[in-house]
Copies of this chain bind each other. A is one copy, B any other.
Amino acid sequence: MSDALENSQARQRLRTLGEALDSGALQQVARILNGGLSPSDIAHLLESSPPRQRALLWNLVDKSLEGEVLQYLSDDIRSYFLSKLNAQELATIIEDFESDDLADLLQQLPDTVIQEVLDTMDDQDRQRVEEVLSYPEDTAGGLMNTDTITVRPDLSIDVVLRYLRRHRSLPPMTDSLIVVNRRDEYIGVMPITKMLVSSPSATVREVMDTDIEPIPVTMSDTQVATLFERYDLISAPVVSEKGKLLGRITIDDVVDVIREDADHSLMSMAGLDEDEDTFAPVMKTTKRRAIWLGINLITAFIASSVIGLFEGTISKVVALAVLMPIVASMGGIAGSQTLTLVIRGMAVGQISGANVAWLLNREFLAGALNGVLWALVVSVAATVWFGDPMIGLIIAAALVINLIAAALVGTLLPLFLKARNIDPALAGGVILTTVTDVVGFLAFLGLATLIYG
């Protein structure tokens, strides 16, 4: 959990700003905003503000900062502000953008606006952006920058150092130069730290690393993130199918992918979007939540209709109505533990055909053991409560059945959904609780009907 709430400096700043906003001291607000706050701080402030304050703050942000602030905003909020700019304003804002950030931003605009903006750019810049735009956002191509510094293998380190000194600055996150041949095909990377400890007379060929595999432009962003995490990379070259160098990916963009992927599972399981705006207005929030509640209402009716089959038995033994939620809820809890574990395991690439059988067996056994353990506890409690050992027996059997069903469904369902390209984090929980509700009510009330009916 974050300690950000305890970050008294940020809280103080927010409060001062809030008071200034409330009292209408807009000049003071503008001074705080544009004097010393970094664009990422301003973006964070905007994301932490309710709609009315957010609009006020955005109007006070200095025009020269707007572009950078936009880059740090989450998609949802960014596209809102973008929609309020015309093509001329856009063209001014994006002047200093890197090609990957610009492509990200353009992808959120209507096609006509994209074309208008591209028309305002010079040929070289336009070509770069169109290159990145031609790849899907969630691939290496969509993540990459085209601002690489390349060198040839036969140069000496000394020449490279003099070549670098001719630059006014190097692209951000340049930890290595990329070595290419005359056809711009990738050969290797030369880490700057290695270059600095090498003799000036050594050649690039002698110093460079060639054991680093370049990233294919079509690789998914999640796989790119796995590579960066696994090999502790700061930047990595991106190549075309034919081995031609296209650009490079840097760790700052990869961190965003990692954060989004991790947030995705958490938010999806509650039917939320990973860049859900915490301070979205009432109507937007209501509409988005309504869909999820509607889907869950259908599943709740399915569970109810199962209970409806047993109205006769319930009217004879009302204790069944009192106890039945226990069976359903324990199944839901056990199932969502398994489901979450499997979804996380799939996200980090641990689960494959080779180990699913073992996992299923382990979950079955753990479900059965916990089923028996808690069945004993519940049956004693139910027997004492209702003075009827038979009802204790029935609930014990139903609990064991439901915990085993939960284990099997929790393991197999995400794999099944994934194979059908359905997001397990989004659909898994809904389907799982439907199953555990139905199995729970069916087992408990069904057994009771056999005995009492």
Q: Give A contacts to B, CB under 8 Å.
A: 1-5, 7, 10-11, 14-15, 18, 38, 40-41, 44, 47-50, 72, 161, 164-165, 167-170, 172-175, 192-194, 196-199, 220, 222-223, 226, 228-232, 234, 251-252, 255, 258-259, 261-267, 269-272, 276, 278-282, 285-286, 289-290, 292-294, 296-297, 300-301, 303-304, 307-308, 311, 314-315, 318-326, 328-330, 333-334, 336-337, 339-341, 344-355, 358-359, 362-363, 365-366, 369-370, 373-374, 377-378, 381, 385, 418, 423-425, 433, 437
Contact = CB atoms under 8 A, between A and B. Distances in A.
A32 to B, nearest CB: 14
Contact of A258 (B234, B258, B366, B423): B258
B330 A270 contact: no
A174 B195 CA distance: 12
Given A293-B330, A337-B271, A365-B286, A1 B346 contact: yes
A169 B194 contact: yes
B340 A325 contact: no
Given A1-B265, A4-B223, A165-B198, 14 more contacts: A1-B424, A3-B222, A10-B352, A48-B351, A72-B230, A258-B258, A269-B340, A279-B359, A282-B369, A290-B370, A292-B337, A297-B377, A303-B326, A308-B385
5 contacts: A2-B346, A278-B341, A279-B362, A285-B362, A289-B366
Number of copies: 2
Given A258-B255, A258-B258, A365-B286, A333 B232 contact: no
B226 A2 contact: yes
B266 A354 contact: no
A237 to B, nearest CB: 17
A11 to B, nearest CB: 5
Contact of A286 (B3, B4, B230, B369): B369
A250 to B, nearest CB: 9
Contact of A349 (B44, B196, B197): B44
A372 to B, nearest CB: 10
A359 to B, nearest CB: 7
Contact of A7 (B251, B293, B320, B349): B349
A321 B297 CA distance: 17
Q: Max chain B CB contacts within 10 Å: which of A271, A366, A424?
A: A366
Contacts of A344: 263, 266-267, 276, 278
A293 B374 contact: yes
Contacts of A41: 230
Contacts of A341: 270, 272, 276, 278
A325 B300 contact: yes
> Which of A193, A301, A324, A351 has the most B CB atoms < 10 Å from its CB?
A193
Nearest to A355: B50
Q: Which of A4, A38, A47, A48 has the most CB of B within 10 A?
A: A4
Contacts of A339: 270
A266 B272 CA distance: 13
The 8 closest A-B pairs by CB, nearest first: A4-B349, A262-B262, A321-B321, A270-B340, A170-B193, A278-B345, A50-B358, A40-B230
A12 to B, nearest CB: 10
Contact of A340 (B165, B267, B437): B267
A350 B319 CA distance: 47
Contact of A289 (B325, B337, B381): B337
Nearest to A265: B266
A334 B293 contact: yes
A286 B48 CA distance: 41
Nearest to A41: B230
A315 B313 CA distance: 11
Contacts of A38: 230-231
